[in-house]
């Protein structure tokens, strides 16, 4: 018999490239700084199952793009998709992609949309902190001060959308986090284990590949 799981894994295989200190990503900065630090200093290959999850997220985003482009949905216009994002700061670059930029025709308002796939939208009562942080950075850097985090259920395409209020103060704090990360990496200083320190982040430890190193404060 043909092993279709293996065929899919081979199709999704990507050349593993270590991260480059000085180039950082909006999707990560809202998580634990120590985990990000480890991912640069002690890179691991992306597991096959995680690669599949990422690809499913890409497929769902393509579906959302089709919905936004649809002539049946005349109240919105898709202005940009997979919009390249890059900002330079002293000593480092922040680089990524903004999922979508749409125009709400009713009031001629531009809105950034960040799409996230999820196992179920039912228990989601608000946007995840790291997703808010990612969108705040995009709003701060682009000048488009309206944003939505859109969660799409992988099982039934149900969705929940959360409007994120722009805050200049929050935007500046995020840039400071990038500076802290860059300083820690270039100075070989292990950052504080934020996910242990803050109660609302402790759940991250359960899914962290670096939990053992972190427990030993291993640099």
Summarised one tens digit per residue, pLDDT across range 107-150 is: 999 999 999 999 999 999 999 999 999 999 999 999 999 999 99
Cα separation of 157 and 150, whole Å?
A: 11
**Residues 204-214, buried b or exposed e (16+ Cβ, 10 A)?**
bbeebebbebb
Nearest to 97, CA basis, from 146, 135, 133: 135
Give the least confident one: 79-83, 139-143, 214-218.
214-218
The arithmetic mean of pLDDT across residues 39-48, rounded, is: 90
Cα separation of 78 and 110, whole Å?
A: 10
Categorize the per-residue pLDDT at 178 as very low, low, confident or very high, splitting at 50, 70 and 90: very high
Q: 1.10.3720.10, 3.90.320.10, 2.60.120.260, 3.40.190.10: which CATH number matches 20-171+179-211?
A: 3.90.320.10
């Amino acid at each position: 018999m043909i092993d279709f799981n293996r065929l899919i894994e081979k199709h999704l295989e990507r050349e593993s490239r270590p991260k480059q200190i000085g180039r950082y990503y909006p999707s990560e900065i809202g998580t634990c700084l120590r985990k990000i630090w480890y991912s640069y200093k002690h890179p691991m290959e992306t597991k096959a199952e995680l690669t599949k999850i990422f690809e499913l997220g890409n497929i769902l985003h393509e579906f959302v793009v089709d919905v936004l482009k649809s002539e049946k949905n005349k109240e919105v216009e898709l202005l940009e998709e997979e919009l390249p994002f890059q900002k330079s700061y002293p000593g480092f670059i922040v680089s990524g992609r903004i999922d979508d930029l749409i125009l709400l025709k009713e009031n001629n308002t531009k809105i950034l949309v960040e799409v996230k796939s999820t196992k179920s939208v039912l228990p989601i009562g608000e946007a995840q902190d790291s997703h808010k942080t990612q969108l705040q950075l995009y709003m701060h850097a682009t000048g488009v001060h309206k944003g939505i985090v859109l969660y799409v259920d992988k099982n039934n395409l149900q969705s929940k959308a959360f409007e994120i209020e722009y805050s200049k103060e929050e935007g500046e704090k995020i840039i400071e986090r990038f500076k802290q990360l860059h300083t820690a990496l270039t100075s070989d200083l292990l950052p504080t284990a934020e996910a242990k320190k803050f109660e609302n982040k402790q759940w991250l430890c359960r899914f962290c590949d670096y939990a053992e190193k972190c427990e030993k404060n291993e640099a």
